[in-house]
Amino acid sequence: ASACSGAFPVTGGFARSVVNYDAGASTPAAGAMTAVGIGLVALFFTPYLYHLPVAVLAATIIVAVLSLLDMQTIIETWRFSRSDFSCLMITIAATLLAGVESGVLAGVVLSIGLHLYHSSRPHYAVVGLVGGTEHFRNRQRHDVLLSESVLTVRIDESLYFANARFLEDRIYALAAENLAITDMVLMCPAINDIDASALDSLEAINERLASSGVRLHLSEVKGPVMDKLQRSTLLERLTGKVFLTQFEALTELDPGCLCGARGAHAEGLRQPGD
């Protein structure tokens, strides 16, 4: 009907498109050839195909559609991320049960929901100095040297209203677990942006730590984030300092830790029998 009236078709048979693609079609001419083939079959072979079970015709389409199912991708997604795998399977189920449009919509909504969930719980790590270097790494993944008086927390996500309270709670919990510290440094190399809610949380953290006798410092703050902080009152109220690098911060706040790091590195370089 669209061809006769000059209109554009608004939809098409997904299964038939798959069969066409699976047969090796690569140009629009395949559609014309398919139409000629169907016409010839309808004119001359209908009596022979009349009693062919519908299930056999359906099986042809099902087999063609199955070729689109990439099992290797599904297996790799399961190994890589359970949350992505769940999103993938729900999208597939929605597509099979409710149609392509519903499946795409379900996939988009789930992806946005997962993004908001993960970004509202940013990854953070207590980091320490790798002996003989100026690098700081997660204490749970590397053998690092930790200061007894300085606690360094690396934040691996931009800060905004959805994760600001989460950060507050984690900082307070770390401070309660490390009562001997006098300084806490927030290492910020992965913070690319910060909003007003997160700024309020940083000010609250600064005041809360100050009431406990702990100074709050910042290190490795990126330029765009520093521009925003300079337009606020946080830097004026900050009980500590803003350091260019984390190594510079530890050098000033706990020089003794660096001496221990050099000693440990030298000990590790000794050969057996020295």
pLDDT tens per residue across span 177-213? 999 999 999 999 999 999 999 999 999 999 999 999 9
Mean pLDDT of all residues in 252-272: 55
How many C-beta atoms lie closer than 10 Å to residue 8's C-beta? 5
Q: Sign of dihedral through CA atoms 240, 244, 246, 250?
A: negative
CATH 3.30.750.24 residue ranges of the chain are: 124-269
How many C-beta atoms lie closer than 10 Å to residue 150's C-beta? 21
Whole-model pTM: value is 0.67
Q: What is the pLDDT of residues 48-74, one digit of tens each?
A: 777 777 777 777 767 766 766 778 888
Mean pLDDT of all residues in 1-18: 53
Fold entry, domain 124-269: Transcription Regulator spoIIAA (3.30.750)
Highest mean pLDDT among 37-46, 92-101, 194-203: 194-203
| Cβ 87 vs Cβ 111: under 8 Å | yes
Whether 150 has a pLDDT exceeding 70, the answer reads: yes
pLDDT confidence tier of residue 25, bands split at 50, 70 and 90: confident
pLDDT at 116: 86
Q: Above pLDDT 90, what percent of the chain?
A: 44
Helix axes 161-177, 196-211, angle to 10 degrees: 20
Which has the higher per-residue pLDDT, 186 or 116? 186
- Calculate the average pLDDT of the chain: 82
Paired residues of 216 in beta bridges = 184
pLDDT at 266: 35
